[in-house]
Amino acid sequence: MKKIKAVVKLQIEAGKANPAPPVGPALAQHGINLMQFCKEYNARTAGQIGNIIPAEITIYHDKTFKFVLKTPPTPDLLRKAAGVERGSAEPNREKVGSITRAQLEEIAKLKMKDLNAISLEGAIRQIEGTARSMGIEIVD
Amino acid sequence: MDWWLEVSVPVENEAAEAVADVLSRYAYRGVVIEAGPEGWNAGPVVVKAYLPADDQLRANKRRIEEALWHLGQIRPVSAPTFRSVAEADWAKAWKERLNVLHVGRHIVIRPSWRDYTPTPGDIVIRLDPGMAFGTGLHPTTQMCLVALEEMIYPGAEVLDMGTGSGILAIAAAKLGAGQVLAVDNDPIAVGTARGNVMINGVQETVSVVRGSLAEVSGSYDLVVVNILSKVIVEMMGEGLATRVRPDGVLIAAGILADQGAEVVTAMERRGLALVEQRQRGDWVCLVAKQGYFSG
């Protein structure tokens, strides 16, 4: 089995990877073929332009890599559900919006496989934490 | 942009998305989350983002520090660290991987920082890909180069949509094309392509323009479009087929094998007929002709 050097997740817009930051500096330091990644990422995400589609890249010591596409970042899903453009700059003081418990559960189900949570309850707790960090409240 | 400010925040995995969200508000085109070889569950990860060195830099740096401080009132977050990174540093890392490359029967891609002594019959393309697509390493580019080598005839008029580094346009000129129009909508690519056209001495033959298909008039003996299936399908709807002369050829690439059928359908709807499909790895290159059938 090939030895893993690092695991890197890029959260970038579908279809728009190029050698500029963050892709360039993030991948070049590991010596992998930047253009190969960009071309393949763009081809595989071309149908989802406009969304942030994370790519989880496993980089091996021999400078080869493989990547899988992931579900959109939790904050993106929370913002869409709450109908707000951005999270709060001061989440400890200022709330920017709210989502229902049903919406929270829906996001948790979608994100479940990417969160390494062992149960739906665990996933819900993690999403709740992220919502709180963005000034988005959960209402019953 | 010569340098960028890199922001790094070490954080527990569960808080990574919240920190990434803060950084992504001010960062250029997204964020990176790095874990060690053990993966995501083996301790802290590092969230990184890059800020352009422009007149907003100081303000954005302060906004990030403030937003992370506020976030830190809710859950533990380390203070960010900053360092400047030069574009040349990361460009260098992958430039070291580019070597002289032979493609097709006679084409030789020579990165501008490598030495090469040509042998008789070689068609050498000097290339500095900069931040643009088209290093010659990728199967899609190689399949296009091979197709060009087989299909170009002296004096042919060529259109290269999505030229990137200019590699295909320059190859077309060196293979005998009479005129080549190279188009890209990315200003970085246009600058890079122009530079490469100059170092290859083909500026009499190749014009590089910034724009889209809408800016292209006339029709061509050979049209090459090495971008992405979705973009090619869109271009078919915008009249790409009418830019191919009767009996002219369209070479389309940047297409994953499972996306080929969709592109072929779009071509046929506009009166082009698929004459050949080549495949290398997961990628296909489609060759179609104009005016093959009348209906």
Q: Which residues contact B234 (CB under 8 A, 6 or more apart)?
A: none
| Among the partner residues A5, A18, A34, nearest to B37 by beta-carbon distance | A5
Give the chain B residue whose CA is nearest to the CA of A26: B32
The string of DSSP letters for B243-267 reads GEEEEEEEEEEEEEGGGHHHHHHHH
Q: Residue B154, Cβ neighbours under 10 Å: how many? A: 8
CB contact under 8 A, B94 and A21: no
pLDDT at A118: 79
User: So what's the ipTM on this one?
Assistant: 0.90
Which residue type is seen at B4? W
Return the SS3 of B67: helix
What pLDDT band is residue A36 in, cutting at 50, 70 and 90? confident
A/B interface, count of CB pairs below 8 Å: 165
d(CA B144, CA B146): 5
CATH architecture of B3-94: 2-Layer Sandwich (3.30)
pLDDT at A55 over 90: yes
The verdict on pTM exceeding 0.95 is no
List all residues 6 or more positions away from A51 whose beta carbon is below 8 Å from its beta carbon.
A13, A14, A72, A76
Q: Does domain B134-290 have CATH number 3.40.50.150?
A: yes
Whole-number pLDDT of residue B292: 55
Task: Give the residue on B whose Cα is nearest the Cα of A36.
Answer: B138
Per-run averaged pLDDT (10 residues), chain B, 295 residues: 89 90 92 87 88 92 94 90 88 78 95 93 90 80 96 97 96 98 92 95 97 95 96 95 95 96 96 95 94 50
Q: Enumerate the residues of chain B whose CB falls inside 8 A of the CB of residue A48.
A: none
Q: What is the mean pLDDT of residues A54-65?
A: 93
Structure tokens at B246: 């009767």
pLDDT tens profile A87-139: 888 888 899 999 999 999 999 999 988 887 778 999 999 999 999 999 999 99
Q: What are the residue boundaries of the structural domains of chain B, listed by start?
A: 3-94, 134-290
